[in-house]
Amino acid sequence: MEEDRPAAVLSPFNELSVQELTAVRDFLLSQPELRLVKYDEAGPTDNVLFTVEMLPAAKADMLAHIDGGGPAPPRRAYAVLFLFDHADGAHCLQVEVGPLPAPTYYQPIRHNKQTPDIHIHSRPGSEPEYAGVDALMVEAFQTLDPIIAEVNGGYRYVDCGDKCLTWTDNAPRGIVRSLRKAWFSMMRKVEGQYLHPIGLEFFIDTSGTNSSQWYVDKIFYANRLWNTSQEIAAWYEANNHTTPGFKPWNPETEEDYRFSTFNPRIDTAPHRPPGGRPGPRQFEPAGKRYTVIGKHVNWMGWDLNLGMRSTAGMRLWDVRFNGTRVAYEISLQEASAAYGGDSASSPFQASTFYFDSSWGMGPSHLQLVPGSDCPDTATYFDFAHLWNGHDVRVNTNSACVFELDLGQPLRRHHQHHTRPKFAASMKSYALVVRSISTVYNYDYQWDHVFYTDGTIEVKVQAFGYLQTVRYAGNAYGYPISPDAGGTLHDHVCHWKVDLDVAGQSNSLLRSTIVPEVIEMPWHPTVQSTWGKRVQRTVAETEHNATLLINPNTPTYMTVVNEDKLNSHGHPRGYRIDHKTYTYSLIPDDAWIMQAASFMKYHVAVTARKEDEPTSTTIFDQATPKEPVVRFEDYIDGDSVRKQDLVAWVSAGTWHIPVSEDAPNTPSTAHAVGFVLRPFNYFDEDAALHTREVTIIRKDFSTGEAAVVDTGMVKARDCLPHAGLTAQEAADSFDSPTDDYDE
């Protein structure tokens, strides 16, 4: 645990501590004009403090401190207030609070690219609001519970005992600011509940500031819409206790629900591994090769600072390689999921489009499972959050760092057909910073991977349960249980990458691979052939600094420093290389794209501005047709030549649910991300500075092969050794393939 390590000197990049979060909360609660109510005592429409997180200092001020030795910028907090009762009318308010740790002021935060007034309907869902929703549910189930229990094997909502129903809600919550409505889907409350929908959905209106006027607008049940629960009851009684077109699956025993659990199926198939023998384990024969001080990590030339926003999750600050800053900030901005579905089968599913930052990706980073989520050798970090509650919550062991043997060479060659004969293979290690968020049904594993050659990989792996509906044999997916199936959806993630390549005066180099005809006058039968070349351009403005990946025009997007050249005379740079990508199938003029325009670009490079801190906000989920931020507005024609630049990067994947997604989507299925690769940044491969290379050379004067000593300490064999050693390989270096030029 983090508390077991020595306390670190306060870093300017640290997220807010428990003491700072508490101080901000208590200070705001003491301001009479805000009329705030303690969160755990608040009703659905009381004024509340919803969340608090660290407000980063201006980059210029931070660099003056960490690079120039100037004073540390004052620590400040970002807070979100829901103000139903206020002199300026009902609205959401973003405020800056400071200085910390003892705040004395708060002031509204205004960004030029954000809507100045945030409607109260744009707020994320909250516990006080859900309490109001629950009251409406209880009222509806006074009529529905007898029917639902009879149809669904005794499961009910009120006074349910051990056979309870629960619900999950979707978004958007109204689309426009004048409305606030969302669908709530009922499911059996069992392990893996998301695979147990019962086909009952409520469309609930929570518009306005008077919760007594909230109501159930529509009910979807038995494949049709109803206006009231009384309508369903009347039909049920008039039709001999049946519902139209509806055949629920009720297992004979509760054990039949186990298809949604992780329990090993060792009674239905040959179990693995034979004899229950454990698999390979990672160990560190000479101790840890990375150091951790607070949230600062150092490994093999890399230095970085970990952070965790309550809204959007993991972020890294001041990432350096060999003492030189490569990136000032790498931060997740958004994780979206857009669903397909038939509104005749499930209005809930058909209308779902999630922006996960609105649901709190930071506090959804829960305790990691040692030895599985992270290897046995990992070091863990705690993060504190004030989100959707009164008390500050510390999520212990919610991120980890570890060194990983990748089990493959970083580079290798075996020269066997000519002299001098040698074999060389460099071991490949990486430092992995990992966190896993669980927002309702989906688990996302967020990895930042640092390699010895100066490469940074950013990737996310989707796990978790599908959001399912009663399967209707439609074109949106496949069944995964007797009566439920998932539907087609995508996952698109968006990151802010503030690269500082050999300084802040950066440009964008586009290198497009184009075909060309190559003359062959020397050939007796053909006069030409097709080849390819690199077409290089340097972007001048933001309008030509975007990329929509096209396989027919492959393009490298590289942030370079035109004034800082490597020894070969080329601008030093870092290339943005996608591992996966999707294309937005939604027309640009669709209303959802007002909030989701970041999905249009795989890369968009803009001049860095303090007024453009994030690509989305937590308010855009509820009212995406009228968002607080339109990312498209950031691309407004500013110069990107020799400027401090930010690359906004999106990556995604499509997911057609299949039976193998039950009970849970595996890690072999859906991973997305991108890689930041050195591009003429060094004079040669930076990994050559590591000693962990095995070189076997043959001495032809003696006919013997020997392993070159690179100065590595001999590993302590803490575990039984298996397989060939390098020396054993050298002893058998003469193989049949080595006899070409004896």
Of 304, 302, 320, 300, give the one whose Cα is nearest residue 501: 320
| Residue 356 a catalytic site member | yes
- Distance (Å) of CA 508 to CA 59, 139, 218, 596: 21, 59, 52, 24
Q: Which of 169, 356, 443, 483 is an active site residue?
A: 356
- CB count in 10 Å sphere of residue 492: 21
- Output the six-digit token pair for 72: 């540390």
- Output the six-digit token pair for 2: 């983090």
Cα–Cα distance measured from residue 21 to residue 7, given in angstroms and rounded to the nearest whole number: 18
Question: For residues 593 and 580, is the Cβ–Cβ distance under 8 A?
Answer: no
Cα–Cα distance measured from residue 426 to residue 440, given in angstroms and rounded to the nearest whole number: 42
3-state secondary structure of 729: helix
Which secondary structure element, helix H or strand E, spans residue 557, and what is its range? strand 555-565
Q: Which of 78, 194, 442, 451 is an active site residue?
A: 442
Q: List, in order, residues 6 or more apart from 10 with CB less than 8 Å away.
A: none
Helix 127-151 × helix 229-238 angle, to 10°:
0
- Output the six-digit token pair for 325: 């800053």
Cα–Cα distance measured from residue 64 to residue 349, given in angstroms and rounded to the nearest whole number: 50
Cα–Cα distance measured from residue 394 to residue 386, given in angstroms and rounded to the nearest whole number: 9
353-355 and 324-339 strand pairing: antiparallel
CA atoms within 13 A on the CB side of 71: 3
The one-character DSSP state at 269 is S
| Residue 442 a catalytic site member | yes
- Please state the φ and ψ torsions of residue 179, each to the nearest 5 degrees: -130, 155
Cα–Cα distance measured from residue 458 to residue 674, given in angstroms and rounded to the nearest whole number: 5
- Please state the φ and ψ torsions of residue 504, each to the nearest 5 degrees: -100, -10
Residues identified as active-site: 356, 442
